[in-house]
């Protein structure tokens, strides 16, 4: 059994929301928090888009969104949906007919921005298409594209204006007997984003899609997203997340999982606990961790690994991880298994040995889970 378990003092009590389906992925309720990303290819290029979708899915994406700006994109969408291993969300801006075409092409969800899709009559036509083709809808409110009348009323993008926009469009959906929807209220400002989501969480029981929009590059965007999304998730708010980075969509998925793993909300793959290294290190910690991150990408089983350079914190961290290595002296260190000292290993053989131990532990965890599932049937 993995040592990567939730302790009582680490519990996060999630906001109670109703559940919807995005294709075969449940969102909200007691479902795991779904991780999303978005392709950045030309959607009309089916091969390139499908390749990016598949790469994101392999990294752990539960749902992938693709932009549908024109008829060429919605025509390509049919084949993309057919070849995708995960549900596809069609991102719609400006032209409501693209939403209808996307629904007809098999999109699992339609993401519409209320501020720029048109009047209520057009939104009703999109709702009808979603009903006819079994799509859910995401109401995507962005601080940068609020409706003109709300900007005039509130003077600038603010939490109240964003929530008002969301509630207006929730009313339209519900007046048309449509409840398979989730909502986002995104901004590039962390404070504005967090305040809007907190207010919306109090105003509705629908699932919430979290995101800090246009967060930035890989490093700056990761930090901004970790602060914004992390605080909301820690408060129990959020049913699905998308980390918006000016980077490869696979990186968005990885960061999303790291945020969830850091809060104990979802686990996938090896959680590496490592020190920043210092003059006490018994081996090159930084290069070792870089190598292990690459070598262990194929391991999807949730488990923990500690890589600590010296005996100051190494033994203590190893007590709480499935596999651990603590640097010693004379070119060797100590291997820990299930929190206990196991055997010494030389530094030059350590990386290969740790990979072997992690793979072995992952197989044991998977076998135990399979046996437990079989016994429960």
Query: Per the annotation, where are the binding residues?
Result: 275, 278, 310, 317
| Number of CB atoms found within 10 A of residue 134's CB | 13
Pairing state of beta strands 63-67 and 88-92?
Answer: parallel
Can you tell me the distance from the alpha carbon of 362 to that of 289, in angstroms, rounded to the nearest whole number? 19
Pairing state of beta strands 340-346 and 332-337?
Answer: antiparallel
Closest alpha carbon to 282 in 341, 346, 358: 346
Interaxial angle between packed helices 218-234 and 249-262, expressed in degrees from 0 to 180 and rounded to the nearest 10: 40
Can you tell me the distance from the alpha carbon of 151 to that of 161, in angstroms, rounded to the nearest whole number? 7
Question: Which DSSP helix (H) or strand (E) runs through 324?
Answer: strand 323-327
**Binding residue ranges for [4Fe-4S] cluster:** 275, 278, 310, 317
Q: Are 141 and 183 in contact (CB under 8 A)?
A: yes
Can you tell me the distance from the alpha carbon of 285 to that of 326, in angstroms, rounded to the nearest whole number? 10
């Amino acid at each position: 059994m993995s040592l990567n378990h939730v302790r009582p003092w680490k519990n996060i009590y999630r906001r109670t929301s109703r559940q919807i389906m995005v294709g075969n992925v449940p969102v909200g309720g007691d479902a795991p928090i779904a991780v999303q990303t978005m392709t950045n290819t030309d959607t009309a290029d089916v091969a390139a888009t499908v390749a990016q979708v598949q790469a994101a899915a392999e990294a752990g994406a539960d749902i992938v969104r693709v932009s549908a700006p024109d008829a060429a994109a919605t025509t390509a969408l049919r084949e993309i949906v057919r070849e995708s291993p995960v549900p596809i969300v069609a991102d719609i801006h400006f032209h409501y007919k693209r939403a209808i075409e996307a629904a007809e092409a098999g999109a699992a969800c339609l993401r519409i921005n209320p501020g720029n899709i048109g009047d209520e009559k057009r939104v009703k036509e999109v709702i009808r298409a979603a009903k006819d083709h079994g799509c859910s809808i995401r109401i995507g409110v962005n601080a940068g594209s609020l409706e003109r009348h709300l900007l005039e009323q509130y003077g600038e993008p603010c939490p109240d204006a964003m929530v008002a926009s969301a509630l207006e469009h929730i009313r339209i959906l519900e007046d048309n007997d449509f409840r398979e929807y989730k909502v986002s209220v995104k901004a590039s400002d962390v404070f504005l984003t967090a305040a809007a989501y907190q207010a919306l969480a109090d105003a509705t029981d629908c699932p919430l899609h979290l995101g800090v929009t246009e967060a930035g590059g890989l490093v700056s965007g990761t930090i901004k997203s970790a602060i914004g999304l992390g605080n909301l998730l820690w408060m129990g708010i959020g049913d699905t997340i998308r980390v918006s980075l000016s980077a490869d969509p696979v990186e968005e998925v990885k960061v999303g999982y790291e945020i969830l793993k850091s809060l104990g909300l979802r686990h996938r793959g090896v959680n590496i606990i490592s020190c920043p290294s210092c003059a006490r290190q018994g081996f090159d910690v930084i290069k070792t961790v870089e190598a292990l991150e690459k070598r262990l990408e194929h391991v999807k089983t949730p488990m923990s690994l500690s890589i600590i350079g010296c005996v100051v914190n190494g033994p203590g961290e190893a007590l709480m991880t499935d596999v651990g290595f603590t640097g010693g002296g004379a070119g060797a260190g100590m291997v820990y298994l299930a929190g206990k000292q196991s055997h010494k290993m030389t530094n030059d053989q350590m990386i290969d040995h740790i990979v072997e131990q992690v793979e072995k532990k992952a197989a044991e965890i998977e076998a135990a889970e399979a046996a437990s599932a079989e016994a429960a049937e």
